[in-house]
Structure 1
Amino acid sequence: MNLFKKLTLFILCTSAFSLSAEITVSKIFSSDMMLQRDKAVTVWGTADSGEKISVKIAGQKHETQVSSGKWSLKLEPLKVSGPHKMLIEGSNKIEFDNILVGDIWLCGGQSNMDYDIRSYVNWGRKPHKEYTSIVNNFASYDQIRLAKMNKISTLPNQYDVPFVEDKTFKGKWMKASDNKELILGSSAVGFVFAKKLQADLKIPIGLIDANKGGSFIKFWEPPHALKARGESRPARNMFNSMLGSYAHGFPIKGFIWYQGESDAINLQKAQEYEKTFKTMIEGWRHEFKDPEMPFLFVQLASFERNPYMHGITYPVLRDAQTAALELDNTGMAVAIDLGMIHDIHPPQKIEVSERLFLAAKKVAYNKDIEFSGPLYKSHEIKGNKFNVSFAHSAKGLKAKSIELNGTQLSADKVQGFELAGQNQVFHPAEAKIKGDKVEVTCAQVKKPIALRYAYKGFPYANLYNSVDLPCSPFRTDSFEIKFNPNDAKVYARNLFLSPKLRKIKMTLAQKRQLVIIHDKHLNPEMEKKRQLLWKTRINAMKKYGSSSQEMIKAIANYDNFLNPLIKAIDSEVVNQGIFKDQI
């Protein structure tokens, strides 16, 4: 046989050998992983058709044969235990070690769930010390396992489990006790929730971190929810990759969810949220093959950067979230007292985690505790008195002394209630606590027909139960909610004004007049010139530095252009008397 034939035969033989595929297993399985107790876990992967596969773990051995290049088999449910080894054998061997069996929780949502502990360690205010202490105790968290998902969007069955793979998270399950960076990089809400559960239950806890800042709820709809809504085409979204890639065979204990800010961007989305949210919850349960799986969620915290948008859409979306409690095995953590008026990402996340933990103890673990703040139950109107009854009052209702946005609310006075008559105009009302009821009256409303509590983006309200959990916002009416996008746009306009005008607390009508004057002087042509001068200023700083002559000249050119316009705006505002005695 000549050399050419020998080489050809060698290549053919080695090629045939290489076509024999090694067995693989889904990426959801790894060393240091957590398996859900008391549920049958499916193990799955790929290999050559016809190949025999065996899986051994905790004294169990299961076998199957590969069909169409894929294999799967079910383990018998395991009790709390570990560490274990898992051995997968076929044409090759795959071995995982240090496996624990306990409860797995998935934390999902948008930025308020996504913000990691590092964000609050660096905050420099109240939560800094608490989170720093949590991080410094990392070595004690050996019974907590972390799985962090990459934030990608796919079609169904398009991608295997998208673990984050970087210097900290190695593309697999990780032991929380390995290093501080794992704690710093984990969801602040999710990790503290897991930490409290583990300390209370004394069992291993796994946390799947699957969330995306800025995401709308539609990005999390599973195929089942889309079918229920009549959608025939599969959607490319976050659920398919970050949950759907393993939901069919990898059981978990439950979900915690913090999302909705993006859907409060306008009234229509806020009003659609109730149906979408309920369908999503049922869809997640369907995909994980557990129709009773606990689903715990955070009601939107107080926030009202724009009262003509957030002041209207936030209360509506909170109503939609509260309506999800109609589904079995759901729990809501009210955060109405934990927000910041101008910051959509409030730092009081430890309290959020604690309230989710209380909900988990009741909903998921059937502990005999009070886990919720007061919820509206019913009402009765007698003359000018509006009597409201509440569920979850514990041992009674109370007004709590609390500071909100620099305003101190007293424990001697219940605040946050409003009453309306036939004209549908709401007025602040007086409230008296009587056991698990509140009697509400208002001098301006002789014949009340409707009541609202904390029904604003950022309400000043202080009704709590005896275990210090806040009352959820609510309304008894079904009046049409009106939203004027032009009002929201006017309020949000950033104007170039003198310091004395910027200090004025103006009405929307005054702001509208001011916008007209402002835009007359800074018309589209002048605005283009301003933007060009501003861009020149930015480029000078980047290229030459903040103290360079080029930068000093660019600043002077910008100020020389803008200052006369501001002066002209000031003069016309004074001449028109828009603010009269306010200046």
Structure 2
Amino acid sequence: MKSTLKVLQILLLSLMLLFSASIHSQNKIKVACVGDSVTFGAGIQDPEEHSYPAQLQLLLGTDYEVGNFGHSGATMLRNGHKSYWDTTEFKKSQDFAPNIVIIHLGLNDQGNNNWPNHKDEFEQDYLDMIAVYKSLPSKPKVIICKMTPTFSGHHWFEEGMRENFKEIQSKIETIAKKASVDLIDLHEPLYRFPEYFPDNLHPTKEGAQIIASKVFSAITGDYGDLNLPLLYGDNMVLQRHDTISFNGTANYNDTVTVQFNNDTKLVKADFNGQWNLSFPPMEAGGPYPLKFSTPTKSVEIENVYLGEVWLASGQSNMDFMVRDMESAATVLKDSLNDQVFLFSMDGKTLSGEKFSADELKNCNAADYFESSGWTTSNAKDLESFSAVAYAFGYTLQKKLNVPVGIICNAIGGSPTQSWISRESMEKQHETVNLLNDMRLNPMVDTWVAERIELNMEDHSKTKIKARHPYQPTILFDAGVMPIRDYNIKGLIWYQGESNADHMDLHSKLFKMLVADWRSHFQNENLPFYYVQLSSLNRSTWGRFRDSQRRLLDIPNTGMAVSYDVGNEKDVHPIKKWIVGQRLSKIALHNDYNFEIGYSGPLLDFVNVIGNTLEVHFKYGEGLKALNSPSVKDVFIANADKVFVPAQTKIVNGTLQVWSPEIKNPRYVKYGYTPFSNGNLVNSYGLPASTFSNCIE
């Protein structure tokens, strides 16, 4: 009898557990992930564990049931080559009775076998699919996604796919509005990680993790509570006289309260966790308290200043530290200024050896830079800061008598292309090739290409997804994207050493860089002041300096000449204070209306007078040869462009040049010797730029 009772008890308990499990299963929130091969997890080892729906399941936990209804190759288009409408996954996703549907389709529609002939059908087909899911008995919430990236290495990229992709992304935004559904942006966070797309279309498990995280936040509204941008912190400097914008992320629909300078503003975080609000422009001053808060978290910043904010960038001569400059001890003792505030972004990985596994892990857009936070210019923090940037900021502060903030993100050895955004590089065939051909590319300066090869040796064997800091776009992704929403007054730039062997390409890249950064900082007139390379005994440097002079045709740029403070054998000359001061003179004149000399003589035009060339200059007032009766490093040529040393004389503010060997002169060069002893200056003592009226 007891035995029978025990069996009945066990049976009853089992039935209760089964009933409880059934009820729990029925109460689970069902999420249907609808899509193509990216949803399915193509190219990922063990997609049942590492596809984005599988990783989403882990993030959501046991209260949710996630179904993977991805079908490789599927199109949204009903008339596409493999329409999702015709797949068994489409039927299964409806039978799943979902409570939430996540749709990520469109990647296969961009092919020329689909888009050109059926593009006008895409919008209605998508709206119809949304309607099908919305009409299910389970009445699910439908969320659609902007497509994950298609990278330039795809073999159809320049054969229409680039343009088709953009059209589809635009249509998806329109569809979201028409259907009144929420939209997840899966493009932007992944676009900065091409290393996670080995075939230029399908993400690795690391890329799938980013997708899962974005979808998790969209479903739950959980964006990790209040998070603030990189540049926010004690001693931060905000740009005076500009609208003061604050932004960040918070959980969906949370109210974010911002208290600043006795004013309070509130804003709600949107579906994507984003929030931003503005305060009116203010005069220079501080320190002021600043507080951000949500219902569950607050961040207080004690000292915030209003003043002038500049970004300093480039390669090693901008990164060159105060402690290594000429007269460093004097600067660190007598030129400290507690109204100059420094923010340093330093690259974690840079060496002349093969990168270790740990170093490789830092070679991506999320982890490459390590930031100092804002510091005052005390001796301890200043000694490792950019010498040129500090000289610039110090001189500005002394003239303006307001707080000055300097952000420096320069990386030694970096070429121009590493600082340009992918969206800009993808527009032209020449730069698309630069993006795609990464290994010993003949368009890349030899030193740069060999350093990449050395550092990344056997990198593929480590299975660590990485990009070299000298490869295209990575420093933009890692060092510009995180700060682009911060208002700055302008930019100072010292770079070119790693592009000096390909000066024509550099000129194209530099123009792209300036336009690109102005676009991302949302200021088409953003001042951009750069340093002309110094003197060094490298064969291309004279012509390169002249190519930099010609870049002054870009509006609202300025150039500080530095060949007179170069070093014949050292690419890192130590007279950095002079260079920073020259940059500051440009800013003080152009941006702050100081009537000061800010440019050395610049070639204006050349007249031919018999066997003599008469060279006219802008900014040539008080033209003279410094410490010599004649101007040095001047050459002259006939139409054949065979140059010989020239004799010179300065007459009424013009430079006259001639040679007994040249009977019909047409061309002149000045300062073209790589390590130049050129000595032409104006009344302000500022050196003339390297120049020639001969374009080689």
Tell me the TM-score normalised to structure 1 length.
0.69
Which of 664, 675, 686 is the matching residue for 1:458? 675
Contact 2:364 2:474 survives alignment (8 Å): no
Do 2:267 and 2:277's aligned partners in 1 also have CA atoms closer than 8 Å? no
* Cα distance change on mapping 1:348 and 1:21 into 2, 3 Å: closer
Q: What residue in structure 1 maps to residue 291 of structure 2?
A: 87
Question: Of 153, 159, 164, which residue of structure 1 is paired with 2:366?
Answer: 159
Match of 1:286, SS state, is helix
Matched residue SS, 1:373: coil
Identity of aligned residues (%): 30
Residue 364 of structure 1 aligns to a residue whose secondary structure is helix
SS at 2:552 equivalent:
helix
Cα 1:156–1:325 shift into 2, 3 Å: farther
The 5 A counterparts of 1:205-216 are 205-216=404-415
Separation of aligned partners in 2, 1:213 and 1:156? 15
The answer to whether the Cα contact below 8 Å between 2:561 and 2:689 also exists between their aligned partners in 1 is yes
The answer to whether the 8 Å contact 1:421/1:449 transfers is: yes
Q: 1:451 to 1:33 in 2, by over 3 A?
A: same
Separation in 2, partners of 1:215, 1:156: 14
Which residue type is aligned with residue 337 of structure 2?
Y
* Residue number among 286, 290, 306 corresponding to 2:523 in the alignment: 290
**Partner AA of 2:258 in structure 1:** V
Q: Specify the alignment match of 2:376 in structure 1.
A: 175
The answer as to whether partners of 1:159 and 1:245 remain within 8 angstroms in 2 is: no
Match of 2:475 in 1: 238
CA distance in 1: counterparts of 2:283 and 2:223, whole angstroms: 37
Distance, in Å, in 2 between the alignment partners of 1:391 and 1:302 is 23
| Structure 1, unaligned runs of 5 or more | 6-14, 121-126, 305-309, 402-409, 480-583
Contact 1:41–1:250, Cα closer than 8 Å, also in 2: no
Aligned to 1:303: 536
1:89 Cα shift? 1.2
Q: Which runs of 5+ in 2 are unaligned?
A: 1-16, 18-61, 64-219, 350-360, 437-471
1:414 counterpart residue number = 631
Q: How far apart are residue 435 of structure 1 and its match?
A: 2.1
Residue pairs, 1:164-563, within 5 angstroms: 164=371, 169=372, 172-177=373-378, 180-229=379-428, 236-247=473-484, 249-264=485-500, 266=501, 269-304=502-537, 310-311=538-539, 313-394=540-621, 396-401=622-627, 410=628, 412-479=629-696
Secondary structure of the 1:211 match is coil
User: For residue 141 of structure 1, what is the aligned residue in structure 2?
Assistant: 337
Structure 1 residues 188 and 162: alpha-carbon distance in aligned structure 2, compared to 1, 3 A threshold: same
Between 1:420-429 and 1:332-341, the stretch displaced more is 420-429
Could you tell me how far apart the structure 2 residues matched to 1:146 and 1:478 are? Answer: 41
- Whether the 8 Å contact between 2:223 and 2:273 is mirrored in structure 1 is no
C-alpha RMSD of the superposition: 2.8
1:105 corresponds in structure 2 to 310
**Cα–Cα, structure 1 residues 474 and 87, in superposed 2: closer, same or farther, change >3 Å?**
same
Q: 1:413 to 1:20 in 2, by over 3 A?
A: closer
Tell which deviates more after alignment, 220-229 or 446-455. Answer: 220-229
- Distance in 1, matches of 2:363 and 2:413, equals 22
Would the alpha carbon gap of residues 346 and 157 (structure 1) be closer, same or farther in structure 2, given more than 3 Å must change? closer
SS at match of 1:195: helix
Q: 1:224/1:41 Cα in 2 relative to 1: closer, same or farther (>3 Å)?
A: farther
Instruction: Name the aligned partner's letter for residue 626 of structure 2.
Output: K
TM-superposition CA deviations, 1:519-562 (whole Å, max 9, x none): xxxxxxxxxxxxxxxxxxxxxxxxxxxxxxxxxxxxxxxxxxxx
Hey, what's the Cα distance between the residues in 1 that align with 2:425 and 2:362?
A: 13
Shift of 1:452: 0.9
Please state how far the C-alpha of 1:278 moved relative to its aligned partner.
1.4
Whole-angstrom distance in 1 between the partners of 2:301 and 2:525: 31
CA offsets, 1:359-378, max 9 Å, x none?
11112223222210001101
Distance 1:413 1:93, change over 3 A: same
Q: Note the alpha carbon deviations across 1:418-454, whole angstroms, 9 max, x for none.
A: 1112443211111110122111110111221211111
Give the SS at the match of 1:471.
coil
Do the aligned residues in 2 keep the contact of 1:46 with 1:70 (CA within 8 Å)? Answer: yes
- 1:30–1:173 CA contact under 8 A, matched in 2: yes
Segment of structure 1 superposing worse, 38-47 or 287-296? 38-47
The 10-residue stretch of structure 1 (272-281 or 295-304) with the greater mean CA deviation from structure 2: 272-281
The answer (yes or no) to whether the contact 1:387–1:440 under 8 Å persists in 2 is yes
How many angstroms apart in 1 are the aligned matches of 2:524 and 2:473? 24
Determine helix, strand or coil for the equivalent of 1:458.
Answer: coil
Report if the CA contact (8 A) 1:33-1:145 is conserved. Answer: yes
Deviates more, 1:381-390 or 1:66-75: 66-75
**Contact 1:295 1:330 (C-alpha < 8 Å) held by counterparts:** yes
Q: Among residues 308, 324, 328, which one is paired with 1:119 in the alignment?
A: 324
| C-alpha displacement of 1:69 | 4.8
SS in structure 2 of the partner of residue 24 of structure 1: coil
Q: Secondary structure at the match of 2:346?
A: coil
Secondary structure, counterpart of 1:75 in structure 2: strand
Contact 1:274 1:320 survives alignment (8 Å): yes
Q: Name the count of aligned residue pairs.
A: 430
For 2:278, the aligned partner's letter is L
- 1:217–1:277 Cα contact (<8 Å) kept: yes
CA 1:295–1:54 in structure 2 vs 1: closer, same or farther (change >3 Å)? Answer: same
Q: Could you tell me whether the CA contact under 8 Å between 1:43 and 1:75 is conserved in 2?
A: yes
Report the residue type matching 1:37 in the other structure: R
Alpha-carbon offset, residue 31 of structure 1: 1.2
Deviation track 1:12-61 (CA, whole Å, cap 9, x = no partner) reads xxx999x7943221222111111111222332222221211111101232
In structure 2, relative to structure 1, the CA distance for the partners of 1:28 and 1:66 (3 Å cut) is same
Distance 1:114 1:457 in 2: 23
| Superimposed CA distance per residue, residues 199-219 of structure 1 (whole angstroms, 9 cap, x where no aligned partner) | 111000001011011111111
The change in CA–CA distance for 1:447 and 1:69 in structure 2 (over 3 A counts) is: closer
Which moves more between the two structures, 330-339 or 61-70?
61-70
TM-score by length of 2: 0.58
* Paired letter, 1:80: A
8 A Cα contact 1:55 1:62, kept in partner: yes
In 2: Cα distance, 1:451 partner to 1:236 partner: 38
1:34 partner SS: strand
3-state secondary structure, aligned to 1:433: strand
Distance 1:391 1:291 in 2: 26
CA positional deviation for 1:74: 2.4
CA distance, structure 2, for counterparts of residue 460 and residue 215 of structure 1: 28
Separation (CA, whole Å) in 2 of partners of 1:88 and 1:161: 27
C-alpha contact 1:53 1:63 (8 A) present in aligned 2: yes
Specify whether residues 79 and 467 from structure 1 end up closer, same or farther in structure 2 by C-alpha distance, changes over 3 A only: same
- Residues 58-109 of structure 1: CA distance to partner in whole angstroms, max 9, x if unpaired? 1232211122352322222222111111111112111101110111111111
Greater Cα offset, 414-423 or 230-239:
230-239
When residues 205 and 293 of structure 1 are mapped into structure 2, their CA distance, relative to the original with a 3 A threshold, is same
Match of 1:40 in 2: 243
SS in 2 for 1:150: strand
- Does the Cα contact within 8 Å between 1:303 and 1:343 map onto a contact in 2? yes
**CA–CA separation in structure 2 for the residues paired with 1:415 and 1:156:** 46
